[in-house]
Structures are given as structure tokens and as C-alpha cells.
Amino acid sequence: MGPELRRRGITRLARDGWGAGRSVWDGDVGERELVVEQLVVRVERAPVHVARVLGLEAGADVLARGRRFVLDGKPVLLASSYFPADLVAGSAITRDDTGPGGSYARLAELGHGPVRFREEIRSRMPTQDEAARLGLGSGTPVVLICRTAFGADGRAVEVNEMTLDSAAYVLEYDFEA
């Protein structure tokens, strides 16, 4: 794999990117080859912690989108996104290809475009499954990012749980004082 992947945590989520039909990954990968694989899209019962963040009752349905991101032939990220099932039913978010601008652009078309995000970052050693799916060597920790997207009414419209290969990333947060 080439140089570390610089994840620009603030600029990548700006509305002028996904609102113009670009992927949140565009600024991160440049001309490098990014492949999304192991895609799973299904309605399932919300994990308890996800239901709580989304303001749903325990056992409520969510649309879950699971995927693995491979950069230059090397797995770098596992991601699971959860949306309130009733909010996205029948939309392109339920399809494998969500279209230009991705899920955030589709949420905007539904009248629930994100206006604010919160990311929580932790690190730990990977589970056996995570190590296998990311092709991690012994002793390589993972970085966990849990992002919540909020609509204009303050409602959480997505929870995205990401597991990153810590050796593949630089996390960059550039903002005004």
C-alpha cells in the first residue's frame, strides 16, 4: 500500500462535497484505487446502543449497511451504518449503490440531510474477525470511530461505526479557532 491515508475528519463531511454529488472519500484517496466490497444491506433489529442514539425503542428496525473498504489492494476500514428503517424505506439508501453524494445526499432528498455530525474516537486491539478482515499483523491496534449524523430537527438520522487499521491512517482535524 502507498502512503498513509489522510482522513480529513471535518472537510470530508462538508455539505458542499456530498451535496454536489461527491463521495466523502474523494478528498481522502485522490487518484488511489478504492474498492468497496463485502457489502451487506438489510433491515435488522437495532443493536441496543444504536437504538438509543437514534432515539428508537429497543428492538426497532434499522437499515444496516455493512461494507469493507480496500485501498490499493489492502483492506483499511470496516464500516456499519444504521438508519431508522422507517426514515429510509423505499429510498436509494436501501440499494447497494446509493448514487452520487451517497447516503447523505439521499437523506437530504428525503428532507433529513445532515446538518451536524459528532464523532467519538477510541482505540483497542482488534477482535480475531476484525484482524482477519483487515489483514492485520500481530500487535496492530484498530481505531474505532462512531459517527452520528443529525438532521436540522436535531434527530439522529445515521450511526456509522467504523473500524480502521491504525497503521493505514492519519486522522486530521483542521478547524478555525
pTM listed for this prediction: 0.85
Q: What is the pLDDT of residue 109?
A: 94
Element (H, E) at 17: helix 15-18
Q: What is the pLDDT of residue 2?
A: 55
Question: What percent helix, strand, coil does the chain show, rounded to 5?
Answer: 25, 40, 35
With beta carbons less than 8 A apart as the criterion, state whether 2 and 32 touch: yes
Q: What is the pLDDT of residue 138?
A: 85
**Domains of the chain, first to last:** 5-170 (3.40.1410.10)
Q: Which residues pair with 79 in a beta bridge?
A: 67, 162
pLDDT truncated to tens, each residue of the chain (177 aa)? 556 766 666 565 555 544 555 555 556 666 777 888 989 999 999 999 999 999 999 999 999 999 998 988 999 999 999 999 999 999 999 999 999 889 999 999 999 999 999 999 999 999 999 999 999 988 999 999 999 999 999 999 999 999 999 998 888 877 777
Residue 100: Cβ within 10 Å count: 13
